[in-house]
Structure 1
Amino acid sequence: MRFARGDVYPAYSSLRADALGTRAFFDALGLLRGSGPDGVERSLKPLEKTRPEPPRTLILAGVNRHQWLSTNDKTFEALDAAVRAGTRLVVTFRATPFEAPEVKKNVSRKRGRDADAGGTPAPRPENKPAPPPFDWQTRWSLALSSDADETPGAVRHGGSDTSGAVANLTRFPDTLPWRSGMTFDLNPSLPPPSPPGKRVSTRPMRITQSTGDSASPWRVLYTRANRPVLIERTLGKGSLVFASDSFFVSNEALQRNRATALLAWLVGPHDRIIFDESHLGVEEDTGIAALARRYGLGAAFVTLLLFAALFVWRRMALFVPPPAEEPVVGLGDYRPTAGIEALLRRSVPRKNLASVCLAEWRATARPEDIARADAAIAPHAAHPAEAHNAALRALRRR
């Protein structure tokens, strides 16, 4: 039952069917655009294996801001290459405290002492220089900030789209329930307007479409406390969408405060939409057993195991040595009539052989045949072979 509800999966997972999941959004898109490789699907592979082609919409819902800041460079490079090739990357963060968790000191595994306490890390070989880190804040002109109140509040729409880049902007709701106090800094090269973690008043304020930086490539769609919380920009052939909260794509929001036009704009123009699950810790097992189950090779594996057992059983050494086999005596030139020939040689003398054969034949022959045979044998009585041949010629029917 827990797998049916999906509460065993992390929050904002497309496999989760309760209020904290995004399965309703996933299923609705599947009904509209189909499922499978050319429609709506889930990705359980690590983000660093993301390919640039083909263009699609990649949704990362419920991203933890601290994990996002500690993401490796390979992942950022793969996402950047995919976006520049035409992919629409949608990143929505979850509402978590902005203060980063405590990190233990960097302990040197080789020397067994803290690097901060005077331990010098091993130098990198000169022939293998360290690659430059991927500075996503500079490349994307974006930084995470925390200038709004952490209490649940409403995010007001920033007005009309003067650039004309967002279609049907007036169909978006004027307000959205927002659970996160995180905002975005669209000019990370400048110092933040207020220290991180500072509480800002939530009294009514004038909401503008931009944050005052006209050179920023980002378009602000929603703000909170006059700070951007839902933004979009084009990058190469693709686009980036960042939202500081994921509540508006959850199952609960789709039931109570569904913003259909906003969700339709969020997925973009691509027919292929991918909900990533690996950033939530739900990854695919790519072992041999998983591949065998996927392609139905269980029976073949059992058969192979049986043959292996038979081979081992055939080749194993016995505790008691087998008895020696006696050599088989060859039969030589054995013939089926050898027995009767040996019996005749011992019982009938050679000179009486013709008469014995004639006597046996007379017991069943006709009288006229007997008379003809006697007449033919009489001249050759001293030679049994000639007498036998003469009798055969006399008895031959004409």
Structure 2
Amino acid sequence: MKHGANRLLVVALPLLVVGFGWGLATLFELRFASGDLYPAYSTLRADPMGSKALFDGLADVRGIEARRFYGLPDHIGDGRDTTLFVIGASVGAPEFVDPAEAKELEDFVRGGGRLVMSFRPIMTSPGAFRRELMELGENAFDPANQGKKKDSAAKRKPGKSPPPKPAKQDANVDESAEKSDAKSGEKSEARKRPPRRRSLLGDERRLRAVSLYERWGFKRAFRDLPESADRDPESVNVTRKDAPPDFPPLLTWHTAVHFKELTNAWRVLYARDADPVLIERPLGKGTVVVCADAWPFSNEALRSERRPALLAWFAGANRVMLFDETHHGIEAHPGVAAMLRRYNLHGLLGALLLLALLHIWRNAVHFVPPLHEETAGGAGAVLGKDSASGFVNLLRRSIPRVELIHTCFAEWKKSCGHQPKNQRRAAEMQGALDSGFAKIGGTAHPVDAYRELSRIATEQK
């Protein structure tokens, strides 16, 4: 019965481990399947705010290779036969670009690449939003308070104010009033002082940074979206300008961003009234496309307002579609495993694993049976090859033959002579040694002398 229970445990334990691992992997897969852990407009995000549908759709087209770009180690390449999508970038990102990155982008386009850049939607002008935050209080620029104060301002109806709290009656009314007056005075002084703003980059990088707006010949601008009766921003329609006739005449737009002061190299495809929102220009052998709104690339847009002709124009005639994820903060940090995969060192890893297994096997299994050591009194004992012969050699070098019996008797008295029953035996042994027995036993017959002393020690009287 016990043997059967052990066998059941041996079979059940691996099954439990495999089941636990499968369940854990399923939970992680369900959690990451929606992709809402990733930033908005990332191609890894599968909810309406992501762009995974566009990536998967292009990947399914025959003859097109869709890849994500996570930064190092291969960079974006020379741009030949490649379209680079930068979806959902910050509208302020092109203002401060490292010169090396700007040169890399321009080399990519001049080499024949197509750069498609779009920005995250902004519902209102940043200047108006900043003024609204300043009216709310002195801590409006604290990042921890911006979200809360924006929500409270949106929910507050015009012309209404929260009801005043009833005053508490206590004995220290005057003192509390003075404290409140002092605090209000400090707050008013703080409002008068200009708030300290953090620079987007460090001073050194800020001095070295370049603006893509200036290098490419256009500027950004803002125009607030209209608001509904509940003061919620509403989308607008942008009209087709210098665009192919198969493009839709109107597009739904969800941002306040537009462009101005364009150079003659730019072509305006769509505009909000007279404000350009979708522009294109040649640069070397390639082209640059700048879209003020990233919403047309989102999963929601591909579901509700699919524009295949416009999306095909964005992609161009290139074979490789490269989607940048580094501007979302998703970057690759290759480790040892990634380097092994990159340089095809799978065989080396397998060989090292095989050597490790052989080393473990060599230490665990003896190919030649070990020699069994024989006891000291067994037949065939060789002098100096076991512990008994070593002990004899040690005694011969340390104790003279004449003193051997006296040494044995002295050691016996140390260990057993203090017992009352052995005191008489010790006296008898000492008498035998003093009577001249030691001469016979110590010199001529040590074995016989030892037997005589042993007889006296074990004699029952």
TM-score tier by shorter-chain length is 0.5 to 0.7
Question: What aligned pairs does 1:375-394 form with structure 2 within 5 A after superposition?
Answer: none
Find the counterpart in structure 1 of residue 218 from structure 2. 142
- Offset, 1:45: 1.4
- Offset, 1:253: 0.4
Find the counterpart in structure 1 of residue 337 from structure 2. 289
Task: Tell me which of 313, 319, 324 is aligned to 1:271.
Answer: 319
- Offset, 1:171: 1.7
- Offset, 1:74: 1.4
Secondary structure of 1:65's match? Answer: coil
Give, as a single letter, the amino acid of the residue that structure 2 aligns with 1:5.
Answer: S
Give, as a single letter, the amino acid of the residue that structure 2 aligns with 1:22.
Answer: S
Count how many residue pairs are aligned between Structure 1 and Structure 2.
259
Find the counterpart in structure 1 of residue 247 from structure 2. 172
TM-score normalised per structure 1: 0.56
Question: What aligned pairs does 1:1-398 form with structure 2 within 5 A after superposition?
Answer: 1-34=30-63, 39-45=65-71, 49-96=75-122, 99=126, 134-149=210-225, 151-159=233-241, 161=242, 169-187=244-262, 216-292=264-340, 295=344, 296=346, 299=350, 302=353
Give the number of the structure whose alpha-carbon radius of gyration is greater.
1
Give, as a single letter, the amino acid of the residue that structure 2 aligns with 1:99.
Answer: P
The change in CA–CA distance for 1:291 and 1:132 in structure 2 (over 3 A counts) is: closer
The change in CA–CA distance for 1:304 and 1:9 in structure 2 (over 3 A counts) is: farther
Give the stretch that moved more between structures: 297-306 or 275-284: 297-306
Residues 189-238 of structure 1: per-residue CA shift (max 9 Å, x gap):
xxxxxxxxxxxxxxxxxxxxxxxxxx621111111242111111111110
- Counterparts of 1:245 and 1:47 in 2: how far apart (Å)? 30
- Counterparts of 1:267 and 1:273 in 2: how far apart (Å)? 7
Find the counterpart in structure 1 of residue 437 from structure 2. none
Contact in 2 for aligned 1:77/1:134 (Cα 8 Å):
no
Give, as a single letter, the amino acid of the residue that structure 2 aligns with 1:290.
Answer: A
- Offset, 1:71: 2.8
The change in CA–CA distance for 1:225 and 1:68 in structure 2 (over 3 A counts) is: same
Residues 294-341 of structure 1: per-residue CA shift (max 9 Å, x gap):
65466556567779999xxxxxxxxxxxxxxx89xxxxxxxxxxxxxx
- Counterparts of 1:285 and 1:136 in 2: how far apart (Å)? 27
Contact in 2 for aligned 1:34/1:40 (Cα 8 Å):
no
- Counterparts of 2:81 and 2:320 in 1: how far apart (Å)? 8
- Counterparts of 1:244 and 1:233 in 2: how far apart (Å)? 15
- Offset, 1:178: 1.3
Contact in 1 for aligned 2:85/2:116 (Cα 8 Å):
yes
Contact in 1 for aligned 2:95/2:210 (Cα 8 Å):
no
Contact in 2 for aligned 1:59/1:274 (Cα 8 Å):
yes
- Offset, 1:68: 3.5
- Counterparts of 1:216 and 1:242 in 2: how far apart (Å)? 15
**Structure 2 runs not aligned, ≥5 long:** 1-29, 131-140, 142-195, 227-232, 362-383, 386-461
- Offset, 1:73: 1.7
Alignment RMSD: 3.7
The change in CA–CA distance for 1:252 and 1:302 in structure 2 (over 3 A counts) is: same
- Offset, 1:182: 0.8
Give, as a single letter, the amino acid of the residue that structure 1 aligns with 2:218.
Answer: L
Give, as a single letter, the amino acid of the residue that structure 2 aligns with 1:138.
Answer: E
Residues 108-133 of structure 1: per-residue CA shift (max 9 Å, x gap):
x9xxxxx9xxxxx9xxxxxxxx9975
Residues 72-112 of structure 1: per-residue CA shift (max 9 Å, x gap):
22111100111111100000101146539967567xx9xxx
- Counterparts of 1:260 and 1:306 in 2: how far apart (Å)? 56
Secondary structure of 1:25's match? Answer: helix
Contact in 2 for aligned 1:57/1:268 (Cα 8 Å):
yes
Contact in 2 for aligned 1:52/1:81 (Cα 8 Å):
yes
- Counterparts of 1:49 and 1:144 in 2: how far apart (Å)? 28
* Aligned-residue identity in percent: 34
The change in CA–CA distance for 1:292 and 1:304 in structure 2 (over 3 A counts) is: farther
TM-score normalised per structure 2: 0.49
